[in-house]
């Protein structure tokens, strides 16, 4: 590579040599496709030393104030349907990849799910009924495919805050349908206000914390800026006696990747592989050796590895970019 990265990659092995290899959830967010998958699509995960994949079926809402969720329909990607998830699970498990089922909502035009909020009590009740149907359907799928983890929701702050009793009733229902472990994927600025961690098995966080204002962040800068967040996260873990799981983590390969990591802007930006590497490396060094930290799922991974990411791609996927080797290094240390 001609990106001034070789030293960083080598130092990744050297600096981590003091770590004791502890089992972690080394996961990928496995993007559904409109086709079945085969062994060739899973082999790159094995080479990455990943041991978990998140299957992510989507439900669709027309607007932030709409109470109806459309899901498991003929218009969706095959990998998001119950049939497709079962096929994906069979192929992934054959390669000893464990599973998390992580149903998510998509609001029209990509509006933020944390802002979903109904305008009337009647609509809140309709949303609750629709979400219950949605999440219990995939809880049953998770039980059928013997998934090790089930995520009961992703970045739904207003829904959670406004309707806590619904969630308190829903979680026991999910446990009746699904016998594995549960988490919830709270946004990075939401997790401290999530009221039901005590009823789950993991504190789940989508870890898009701002860790550097630099155009090309350094590992040292990111490590320093992680310190206050780490202290707060560990305190919550201790208070609830629950391990922390990063239900999503990752950075784009652009400048200022650590400033607003949650932004998925598709406008043209200059490639900056060093920024993606430094931010990723700092996250691993901050958390992966902590016994209260369970691991995480990189955002995101496409089944067609050869055609994903690579030169000119500024999005989150690490595939065919220098940061893929960084992830491989840490996943190997903690598999």
CATH of the domain at 291: 3.20.20.80
pTM for this prediction: 0.92
Does 202 map to a domain? yes
Does 299 map to a domain? yes
Does 223 map to a domain? yes
pLDDT tens-digit profile of 93-148? 999 999 999 999 999 989 999 999 999 999 999 999 999 999 999 999 999 999 99
What does the alpha-carbon distance between residue 105 and residue 110 come to, in Å, rounded to a whole number? 10
Could you write out the three-class secondary structure of 26-85?
EEEEECCCCCCCCHHHHHHHHHHCCCEEEECCEEEECCCCCCCCEECCCCCCHHHCHHHH
Domain extent at residue 226: 6-333
Omega of the bond leading into 222 within 30 degrees of 0 (cis): no
pLDDT for 13 beyond 60: no
pLDDT for 21 beyond 80: no
Does 1 map to a domain? no
Rounded to an integer, the average pLDDT of 60-86 is 93
Q: How many domains does the chain have?
A: 1
What does the alpha-carbon distance between residue 187 and residue 189 come to, in Å, rounded to a whole number? 5
What does the alpha-carbon distance between residue 262 and residue 207 come to, in Å, rounded to a whole number? 9
pLDDT tens-digit profile of 228-259? 999 999 999 999 999 999 999 999 999 999 99
pLDDT tens-digit profile of 195-219? 999 999 999 999 999 999 999 999 9
pLDDT for 265 beyond 90: no
Assigned token pair, 243: 């391990």
Does 53 map to a domain? yes
Rounded to an integer, the average pLDDT of 294-298 is 98
Does 90 map to a domain? yes
pLDDT for 5 beyond 70: no
- Provide the pLDDT for residue 264: 83
Put residue 97 in one of left, alpha, beta given phi > 0 → left and psi -120 to 50 → alpha. Answer: beta
% of the chain at pLDDT higher than 90: 88
């Amino acid at each position: 590579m001609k990106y001034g990265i070789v030293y960083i990659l080598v130092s990744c092995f050297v600096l981590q040599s003091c770590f004791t290899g502890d089992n972690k959830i080394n996961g990928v967010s496995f993007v559904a496709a409109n086709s079945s998958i085969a062994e060739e699509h899973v082999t790159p995960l094995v080479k990455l030393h990943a041991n978990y994949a998140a299957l992510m079926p989507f439900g669709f809402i027309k607007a932030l104030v709409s109470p109806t969720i459309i899901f498991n329909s003929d218009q969706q990607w095959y990998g998001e349907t119950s049939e497709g998830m079962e096929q994906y699970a069979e192929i992934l498990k054959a390669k000893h990849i464990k599973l998390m089922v992580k149903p998510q909502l998509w609001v029209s035009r990509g509006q933020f799910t944390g802002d979903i909020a109904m305008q009337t009590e009647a609509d809140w009740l309709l949303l609750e009924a629709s979400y219950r149907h949605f999440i219990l359907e995939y809880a049953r799928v998770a039980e059928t495919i013997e998934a090790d983890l089930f995520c009961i929701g992703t970045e739904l702050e207003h829904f959670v805050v406004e309707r806590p009793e619904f969630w308190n009733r829903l979680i026991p229902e999910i446990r009746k349908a699904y016998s594995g472990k549960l988490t919830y994927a709270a946004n990075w600025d939401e997790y401290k206000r999530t009221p039901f961690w005590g009823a789950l098995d993991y504190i789940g966080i989508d870890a898009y914390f701002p860790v550097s204002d630099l155009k090309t962040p350094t590992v040292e800068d990111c490590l320093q800026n992680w310190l206050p967040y780490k202290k707060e996260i560990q305190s919550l873990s201790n208070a609830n006696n629950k391990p922390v799981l990063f239900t999503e983590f990752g950075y784009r390969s652009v400048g200022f990747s650590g400033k607003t990591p949650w932004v998925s802007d598709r406008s043209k930006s200059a490639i900056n592989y060093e920024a993606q590497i430094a931010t990723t490396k700092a996250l691993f060094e901050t958390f992966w050796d902590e016994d209260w930290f369970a691991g995480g799922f990189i955002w995101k991974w496409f089944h067609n590895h050869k055609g994903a990411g690579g030169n000119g791609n500024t999005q989150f996927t690490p595939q065919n970019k220098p940061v893929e080797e960084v992830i491989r290094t840490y996943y190997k240390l903690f598999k």
